[in-house]
Amino acid sequence: MDIEGEELAVLQSAPPELFARIAQMTVEFEDCHDKAEIRSVIRKIRGLGFWVVTFAWRNYNDVLFVNQKLEPVSFFQRAIIVLVHKYGRGLLRILDRRLSRTR
């Protein structure tokens, strides 16, 4: 979901019944949003049974929500998502940037 700054308004006003039909979604919260409001929305969605991963290290530009009732994610799957896709790819990007500076 990338709706140019309206992510918070849509997610705050969406009824729980809507989320019950969503298996997974990714959200790009804009940097202009208040971080406390973003965390509040994340808590709301987590409270509705979603597993949440924030991929960005310094902001909320890439957040994955998975509805555990519709798409259960095992411990092993969570570990792969976090270790490989979040931290592994992030470390590779950092190394690539550092190496490109030294060339």
Mean pLDDT of 50-58: 88
Q: Would you say residue 94 has pLDDT above 90?
A: no
What residues does each domain of the chain span?
1-71, 73-103
Percent of the chain with pLDDT over 90: 45
- Residue 24 in tokens: 């997974």
Residues 82/53, Cβ–Cβ less than 8 Å: yes
CA distances from 45 to 35, 41, 68, 92, 93 (A): 15, 6, 11, 30, 29
Q: Does the pTM of the predicted model rise above 0.75?
A: yes
Q: Would you say residue 103 has pLDDT above 70?
A: no
Residues 65/52, Cβ–Cβ less than 8 Å: yes
| Amino acid symbol at 56 | A
Q: Which fold has domain 1-71?
A: Translation Initiation Factor IF3 (3.30.110)
Q: Would you say residue 51 has pLDDT above 80?
A: yes
Confidence at 25, pLDDT banded by 50, 70, 90: very high
